[in-house]
Structure 1
Amino acid sequence: MKPINWLILFTISTMMFISCRKFLDQDPDSQATDQTTWKSEGDANSSVAACYSLLRSALNASITHYAYGDLPSDEFNSEFVSGGSNDSYKNVASMKWEGSIPPANSYVELLKLRVYSNFYTTIAQANRCLHFLEPMPATVFAGNDAAAQQAKKNQYIGEAYFVRAFAYFYMARVWGDVPLVTNYYPDVATAPQVARSPQKEILAQCIADLAQAKKYLPWKDDNNPDKIVRGDKGNAFALMAHVYAWSSNYDSCRMACDSVINSGSYSLVPASDYLSIYKGQSPEGIFEISNNQLKESLVAAQSIAGQTLAAPYISNITTPLWQLNGGVVNNLFYDTTDLRFKKSFVTIATGTSSFISCIKYSNIQYIDPSKQPQFTVAQNNIVIFRLADIKLLKAEAMAAGTNTDFGGALAIVNEIRARAGLTTPLTGITGRPLLDTITAERGRELFLEGHRFYDLVRLARNTGTVKFPFMTAGEFTAGKYYWPLDPSLFLTNSKLLQTPFWQGKLK
């Protein structure tokens, strides 16, 4: 079956049964169809909630968010990366993304990371929501008057636009060109096969979707228990800033960053409470994938915690499956008084050796104390965007845009450093060295948060400095940093072409 077709079928058949969080806990109706479910606000809410649930599945499967954004960067020592089937994670870390895997072995993590199906399932659900929400009468939505009811309806529409933009942007950073599908197909037999669209068109669609989202969405409501884990105006602007940065449109990126920073909706968490960021929904958080509730949290072994932690944080693991590159950690945190280093890293000795471990994701709970190793869950949200990220992205835009402001960019870097207890300001840095300084500060601030790989890509584009351990400057220019498509995708879509760098390398 065509990939778009079966994704739509999968979405429709599963959306009512997916649960991540209170706002996703809807009573399933086994007889629900598109002709019967779009009658009330409850129908709209459960359908939009399914978008987040599917997105959550996409970013948790195969530890996707960190496998794409951290593992192939310099944060890890690939010699000491293990786990997964067929050495999947070691191959991800060393950028050996071309390994031959039979399509029947769909459990292999490397194959799953080369397949974008989970993201298109999310997009299909967003398209479905946009198609059916628009004709719903505003009168079925809560509100004291017609304007309030229309605003509530528009909020759900805005959320669907936001999720679709997020999924497309995520895929664009991973694969570059991807198929662009914005229509809902009620009859799967009529859904067309779609070729890959140029990344420029994908990113333009993201901006168009976000223009609609920010028009319809309110700012964060601190009284809402689902703040930060659902779309609002702040995370729409934050996503827009990242889309513009990836597009090298730094002047627009700067304005989007200002919209977030000047909104007054977010504040930096004190360094003394730094690890609270990763438990989720801190004052600094802008958009997160909800994993911190017991019913939605991951079995530790299947999460980033299970890959990067060891005893005493997870009692049955003596050394992490993914070991950090101690040299890179020490170079980034050359000033060991940095409170981010003191709060987020520990050195653990095992016999005659020792290793550095990042403990950002150490919110571990033992479900059955009598069987601790077998029943551990990790209760940390995936922090996608937070205020420090957006501030430092603005600094990058000020240093790389057409209207440079080196002094202003450095002032932001010093603000973030001061929060970390580094009170001696950096001075006199301009041009390319400043971009390198900003990237290094992002490396310290956002270590193991899914940003490092993309930050190093932008640094290489802006300065020509390639800092990837398994990619030369020539390979970077040829586009090695974009992932290949798994050959299994070509079996169901004859219009697909392989990512240019990887053509002829996968069978």
Structure 2
Amino acid sequence: MKNKSLYLGLFILLSLASCHKFLDQNPISTVTDATSWKTDADANAGIAGCYSLIRSAFDASLGFYVYGDLPSDEFNNVVDGDFNNIRMVNWAISVSSLNTYDPKLKLRVYTSFYASIQQSNRCIHFISQMPLSAFNGNDAQEEMANRNKYLGEAYFTRAFNYFYMSRVWGDVPLDTSYQADISGFDGQTRSPQNQVLNACIADLSVANKLLPWKDESSADRVVRADKGAAFALLANVYAWKGSYDSCNKACDSVINSGSYALVSGANYKDIYKGQSDEGIFEIAQNSSTEAMNATQYSASIANYTLATPYLPINTIPNWQIDPNMLHTLYSDTNDIRYKNEFTSLVSGNVTYYSCIKYSNIETITNNNVNYYLSKNNIIIFRLAGIMLLKAEALAAKSSPNYAGALSLVNAVRARAGINSIATVSGRAALIDTVTAERGRELYLEGSRFYDLVRNERLTGVSQFPYISQNDFSAGKYYWPLDPTLFTLNPLLTQTPYWMQLLTN
């Protein structure tokens, strides 16, 4: 039986709060386009909509963690059968369009991402037309800076959505124009992935010219894009393309900026509350008005990874960590990450392990009923991840930079309180070393699945439990599109691997 959400009661409770947070602003809709876009506040609300819609896409069936973690080697069982099929890469199971709760249906549909893209297109179109005098500032220079920042964020969010969809589906329709009237839409084909990624690079080139570096004094730091977020996204785009020299340069722009610093090992869990010194780009969910109901079905990562005492309603974790993988990855049990970010409990004669990164839970009691708020930002990019991505770029070279790659790996290991790695023999071993360190550092941060994809591209060796080397070569790691999308867009074709497996 599905765990029914107490969302309505929680909504009523939270509606009493007076704080009005950034992502609570409604996106500007096409209904108000003719009368809006007059003031700085209009532009700000429009940009808020871009981020809010990204958050909606990631919260729909835990998309960020399902796409990036669940089908990897991190888990060996899932209690919820719908998610367990996803873990085992059974992505082609037919789902009735009436079963709107089913995560297989939600995760095969890219509509939420395109809603955010259309909002970015709308912002670019209208903000570009607004006069400088519409923006806040004491002079024309400040007004220009504010307009540029909004435009930079719009270009960033569009690039972010297209990059994310490219990793999930491969080829996707590419549209960078504002559409005031879509009544004449008769379909659009999927654009080649490389074309989509090149469009991301072009958008990020514009964004980097418009955005400032991080403003430490801003309450919205790292939950809104700045130049560091744009370079971090650019580095990830280049890594996915296999353009590692360009990836390395983009990583250097972040690392050498001086805008970010590794938090101390003792304060690891502060990273996941959000807006730490290490954070580069995050989706805001750490305030009471933005937080997720921790018990919400198919939406809260806390509900699936936590159990008592962190989330008392769960006696065992729903997504169950593979203990063999865990102990192989963290073979050094002195690793602060292992000690601080994982816990175990015994039920019957079985020991279950939980990742407790997302255990910043606030309990609210109303009429003697407890409600649980999960107050953790979605961490998209942080400094340690960029350092290890640079290490990957140095390891991927035909003549690897062993010293440079290991220096970065060891800097991350030093923060975790474990010994340095002195030497590694061979390019494949160096790549595996970096991938393993990313697995330890970025466990359950939406990265592992894509790290293993890039690793297999570089080494030719599969580490996936349910994707063989032949299936990998055939593109099984790209998701199918749900057939309901073909009704709306008759020019779509199915993802090649799934073409004969999901037809209706």
1:347-390 Cα offsets, whole Å, 9 max, x none, are: 21123221111110111111117756x51111100000000000
Larger CA deviation: 363-372 vs 453-462:
363-372
1:40-119 alignment runs, 5 A limit: 40-77=39-76, 80-83=77-80, 87-119=81-113
1:180-206 Cα offsets, whole Å, 9 max, x none, are: 011111112133421100000110000
Aligned residues: 483
In the alignment, what sits opposite 2:437? 441
Which amino acid is 1:434 matched to? L
In the alignment, what sits opposite 1:362? 359
In the alignment, what sits opposite 1:6? none
Where 2:89 maps in the other structure, the secondary structure is coil
On the 8 A contact 1:20/1:296 being kept in 2, the answer is: no
In the alignment, what sits opposite 1:307? 304
Matched, 1:188 2:182: yes
Q: CA deviation at 1:301?
A: 2.1
Which amino acid is 1:46 matched to? A
Paired with 2:488 and 2:26, the residues of 1 have a C-alpha distance of 34
Q: Over the residues paired in the alignment, what is the CA RMSD in angstroms?
A: 1.8
1:377-418 Cα offsets, whole Å, 9 max, x none, are: 111000000000000000000111356311100111111101
Paired with 1:435 and 1:43, the residues of 2 have a C-alpha distance of 47
Which amino acid is 1:445 matched to? E
Matched, 1:409 2:405: yes
**TM-score, normalised with respect to structure 2:** 0.93
Q: CA deviation at 1:29?
A: 9.4
Where 1:178 maps in the other structure, the secondary structure is coil
On the 8 A contact 2:186/2:489 being kept in 1, the answer is: no
1:240 counterpart (234, 238, 248): 234
**TM-score, normalised with respect to structure 1:** 0.93
With over 3 angstroms needed to count, the CA separation of the structure-2 counterparts of 1:459 and 1:73, relative to structure 1, is same
In the alignment, what sits opposite 1:8? none
Where 1:287 maps in the other structure, the secondary structure is strand
Q: CA deviation at 1:425?
A: 3.5
Matched, 1:325 2:319: no
Matched, 1:393 2:392: no
Paired with 1:469 and 1:54, the residues of 2 have a C-alpha distance of 32
Unmatched 5+ residue regions in structure 2? 1-17
1:425-476 Cα offsets, whole Å, 9 max, x none, are: 4324441100000000000000010000000000000000100000100000
Q: CA deviation at 1:20?
A: 10
1:156-183 Cα offsets, whole Å, 9 max, x none, are: 0000000000000000000000000111
Which amino acid is 1:48 matched to? I
Which amino acid is 2:38 matched to? K
Paired with 1:294 and 1:483, the residues of 2 have a C-alpha distance of 34
In the alignment, what sits opposite 1:12? none
On the 8 A contact 2:222/2:280 being kept in 1, the answer is: yes
With over 3 angstroms needed to count, the CA separation of the structure-2 counterparts of 1:97 and 1:27, relative to structure 1, is closer
1:273 counterpart (258, 262, 267): 267
Matched, 1:352 2:349: yes
1:204-243 alignment runs, 5 A limit: 204-243=198-237
2:419 counterpart (423, 426, 435): 423
Paired with 1:197 and 1:20, the residues of 2 have a C-alpha distance of 42
With over 3 angstroms needed to count, the CA separation of the structure-2 counterparts of 1:483 and 1:400, relative to structure 1, is same
In the alignment, what sits opposite 2:15? none
On the 8 A contact 1:251/1:402 being kept in 2, the answer is: no
Matched, 1:486 2:494: no
Unmatched 5+ residue regions in structure 1? 1-18
In the alignment, what sits opposite 2:7? none
Where 2:195 maps in the other structure, the secondary structure is helix
Matched, 1:335 2:338: no
In the alignment, what sits opposite 2:12? none
With over 3 angstroms needed to count, the CA separation of the structure-2 counterparts of 1:452 and 1:429, relative to structure 1, is same
Paired with 1:332 and 1:432, the residues of 2 have a C-alpha distance of 17
1:257 counterpart (251, 257, 272): 251
1:291 counterpart (285, 310, 331): 285
In the alignment, what sits opposite 1:13? none
Q: CA deviation at 1:25?
A: 4.4
On the 8 A contact 1:21/1:290 being kept in 2, the answer is: no
Paired with 1:27 and 1:388, the residues of 2 have a C-alpha distance of 33
With over 3 angstroms needed to count, the CA separation of the structure-2 counterparts of 1:371 and 1:385, relative to structure 1, is farther
Paired with 2:290 and 2:313, the residues of 1 have a C-alpha distance of 22
1:151-166 alignment runs, 5 A limit: 151-166=145-160
Paired with 2:258 and 2:330, the residues of 1 have a C-alpha distance of 30
Matched, 1:146 2:136: no
Paired with 1:140 and 1:410, the residues of 2 have a C-alpha distance of 50
Matched, 1:316 2:313: yes
1:171 counterpart (165, 170, 183): 165
Paired with 1:27 and 1:211, the residues of 2 have a C-alpha distance of 28
On the 8 A contact 1:21/1:296 being kept in 2, the answer is: no
Paired with 1:21 and 1:100, the residues of 2 have a C-alpha distance of 41
1:5-30 Cα offsets, whole Å, 9 max, x none, are: xxxxxxxxxxxxxx996224458999
Where 2:481 maps in the other structure, the secondary structure is coil
Where 1:439 maps in the other structure, the secondary structure is helix
